[in-house]
Chain A
Amino acid sequence: MTLAYQKLKSFDLQQGVIYIGFLAIFLFFALTLHDDGFLTSRNLTNIVLQTAPATIMAIGLVFALSAGEIDLSFGSVVAVSALSAAVVMQHFPMPVGILAGLGAGLAIGAFNGALVAYGRLPSFLVTLATMGLFAGIARTMTDLRSIPVLNENFTGLFGSGKLLSVPSLVIWTAIAVGIGHIVYRNTRLGAHVLAVGDNARAAQVSGIKVARVRLYVLTLCGGCAGLAGLLYAGRLQAAKYTLGESDLMTVIAAVIVGGTALNGGKGSVIGALLGSLLMGMLNNGLILMGLDVSDQMIVRGLIILLAVAVSLRDTSR
């Protein structure tokens, strides 16, 4: 069939590699770690729960990269948001805490976005600077102290709670991925994000508000990091400046492996979800294998390098 052949030809290796890689690594761990409990539903659920914050940040990053921008600051935003929510909830009811956490994320994102969109500064440098800036602010906010989050409604909503026996972190992940995917694929905003990342001048002359799109994607990254901060605070029942510290590499790797182009114009929210689960699976599998932390870091680094190399190989020619 010519149609089947066309389908096959249009199969995009850059975007498809995640499905193959995901399956391969899953099967590998399923076989080698069968006796160590990798395949138990408890362990698999755990992987999803642990990756929830990274998945949500990855969605924001898919939009930013697709628009030709990048956000390096989201790890620091996570800490600032979680701490803001925790501190505010010491004195105010939960909704105020949620607003504070999300608001901090959105505000930092909008700050990054405004500098990029209207200050015409490169997002790499802006968010590199704000990454350091807000990491510092997170440290001074509570003098390095950890702030407990005791509000049970909050820890239920963003952590250990369940709805119809589905863990709340799974629900948050599903909602974020679902909305993210639809906005990315099926709205004018999504189309404009791709157009700006693909050819900003073409977007400009076609009447797309390029600066506004840049502002939106970076604000979205901040908002996603804010939500990730709430999820961390809910699951760990505490907020600390170290939250999100180690997520930068994981999230960027998840997004790239998931088929999003580093230089814009192309990406996938579903791919980022799989990429994030893949990173979680690696983490989990390497721990179950009994590797110590330094070996885990080395192996994970190598596997990410391999995965990124494969997914970035120019397959168009």
Chain B
Amino acid sequence: MTGSTPVLSLANIHKAFDGVIAIEDFSLDLYPGEIVALVGDNGAGKSTLIKMISGVYSPTSGTVRLEGDEVSFADASSARSRGIEVVYQDLALADQQPVYMNMFLGRELTKPPFGLLDKERMRQETQALVDELDVRIPSASSTIRDLSGGQRQGIAIARATHWASKLILLDEPTAALGVAETARVEELVARLRARNLAILIISHSLDQVFRLSDRICVLRRGQQIGIRKTVETNKNEIVSMITGVHAPA
């Protein structure tokens, strides 16, 4: 894994909002086919970090490299056009539209000669994708509003999978879900590893982090505390890294 070039390489990233430091000297390399978990308490700077990768914010200083090229995204669209997709903490789905229109939101397929929407093809491609990823929904024509939270998050992840060529960023994808739905979303995320995408996932659930990730990166109040291989660490160590309090042996 470490032999290949990183998909994403962050070096010495700083971010300040009006002088208030949100991220201080953050560095991380992400490789294809690996899942890295980003953990830390509320306000640690996790979402801010993801927004810098996805082009919503730009770092105050530091470099972002995508497959070795230094990049600076002006907005989310330019990051997307380079193969980076985000699944947001609060779902970015249009509730009253069908699943297939959400799958192609902003990138709708059209057909000649008049450039009208090719709804049939969007529906079919969506159906194929949700079948392949085993996202269980009634049909690709279902309206988002009629789906459960887990199904919706499944759609959001399927959409990211469909469009991401390099990197998927997940910001607390299961925060609003119940136990069974969380399990299904986790299965889905784990299956993405096989697609050779790099995945960065934010989660407050350490159980989830230990089930899913290859490496764990800890943030505390904007400081990067450390990175551990999941198999070489344990919850006690991660908890004490998050809180700064050493757990009693």
A34 at the interface (CB under 8 A from B): no
Contact A266 B96, beta carbon cutoff 8 Å: yes
B95 at the interface (CB under 8 A from A): yes
Closest residue on chain A to residue B146 by CB atoms: A316
**CB interface residues, B 78-133, toward A, < 8 Å:** 80, 86, 88, 91-97, 101, 105-108, 110, 115-117, 119
Q: How far is the CB of A209 from chain B (nearest CB, A)?
A: 9
Docked CA distance A266–B94 (Å): 11
Contact B105 A195, beta carbon cutoff 8 Å: yes
Given A188-B117, A206-B106, A207-B77, A198-B97 contact (CB < 8 Å): yes
Docked CA distance A205–B55 (Å): 10
Given A188-B110, A188-B117, A195-B105, A205-B92 contact (CB < 8 Å): yes
A145 at the interface (CB under 8 A from B): no
A297 at the interface (CB under 8 A from B): no
Contact A265 B97, beta carbon cutoff 8 Å: yes
Contact A186 B117, beta carbon cutoff 8 Å: yes
- B110 / chain A contacts, CB cutoff of 8 Å: 187-188
Q: How far is the CB of A175 from chain B (nearest CB, A)?
A: 16
A128 at the interface (CB under 8 A from B): no
- A146 / chain B contacts, CB cutoff of 8 Å: none
- A208 / chain B contacts, CB cutoff of 8 Å: 105-106
Range, interface on chain A: 20 to 34
- A194 / chain B contacts, CB cutoff of 8 Å: 94, 96-97, 101
**CB interface residues, A 157-201, toward B, < 8 Å:** 182, 185-188, 190-192, 194-195, 198-199, 201
Instruction: Pick from A201, A203, A265, A316: contact of B106, CB below 8 A.
Output: A203
A305 at the interface (CB under 8 A from B): no
Docked CA distance A199–B93 (Å): 7
Contact B106 A195, beta carbon cutoff 8 Å: yes
- B96 / chain A contacts, CB cutoff of 8 Å: 194, 198, 261, 265-266
Docked CA distance A60–B15 (Å): 45
Q: How far is the CB of A267 from chain B (nearest CB, A)?
A: 10
Closest residue on chain A to residue B101 by CB atoms: A191
Docked CA distance A124–B86 (Å): 33
- A192 / chain B contacts, CB cutoff of 8 Å: 106
B235 at the interface (CB under 8 A from A): no
Contact B93 A316, beta carbon cutoff 8 Å: no
Contact A265 B95, beta carbon cutoff 8 Å: yes
A202 at the interface (CB under 8 A from B): yes
Contact B105 A206, beta carbon cutoff 8 Å: yes
Contact B93 A202, beta carbon cutoff 8 Å: yes
- A201 / chain B contacts, CB cutoff of 8 Å: 92
Docked CA distance A204–B95 (Å): 15
Contact B108 A205, beta carbon cutoff 8 Å: no
**CB interface residues, B 224-242, toward A, < 8 Å:** none
Docked CA distance A202–B102 (Å): 9
B211 at the interface (CB under 8 A from A): no
B145 at the interface (CB under 8 A from A): yes
Q: How far is the CB of A131 from chain B (nearest CB, A)?
A: 28
- B107 / chain A contacts, CB cutoff of 8 Å: 206-207
Docked CA distance A229–B105 (Å): 36
B22 at the interface (CB under 8 A from A): no
Closest residue on chain A to residue B110 by CB atoms: A188
Contact B93 A191, beta carbon cutoff 8 Å: no
| Residue among A182, A186, A190, A194 with the highest chain B CB neighbour number at 10 A | A186
Docked CA distance A191–B80 (Å): 20
| Residue among A187, A191, A201 with the highest chain B CB neighbour number at 10 A | A191
Q: How far is the CB of A95 from chain B (nearest CB, A)?
A: 27
Contact B116 A187, beta carbon cutoff 8 Å: yes
Docked CA distance A204–B86 (Å): 13
Instruction: Pick from B88, B91, B94: contact of A198, CB below 8 A.
Output: B94
Contact B116 A186, beta carbon cutoff 8 Å: yes
- A261 / chain B contacts, CB cutoff of 8 Å: 96
Closest residue on chain B to residue A263 by CB atoms: B96
Contact A199 B106, beta carbon cutoff 8 Å: no
Given A186-B117, A207-B77, A191-B108 contact (CB < 8 Å): yes
Closest residue on chain B to residue A265 by CB atoms: B96
| Residue among B91, B93, B96, B108 with the highest chain A CB neighbour number at 10 A | B96
Interface residues of A (CB under 8 A from B): 182, 185-188, 190-192, 194-195, 198-199, 201-208, 261, 265-266, 316
7 examples of A-B residue contacts, CB within 8 angstroms: A187-B115, A188-B108, A188-B117, A191-B101, A202-B92, A205-B88, A316-B145
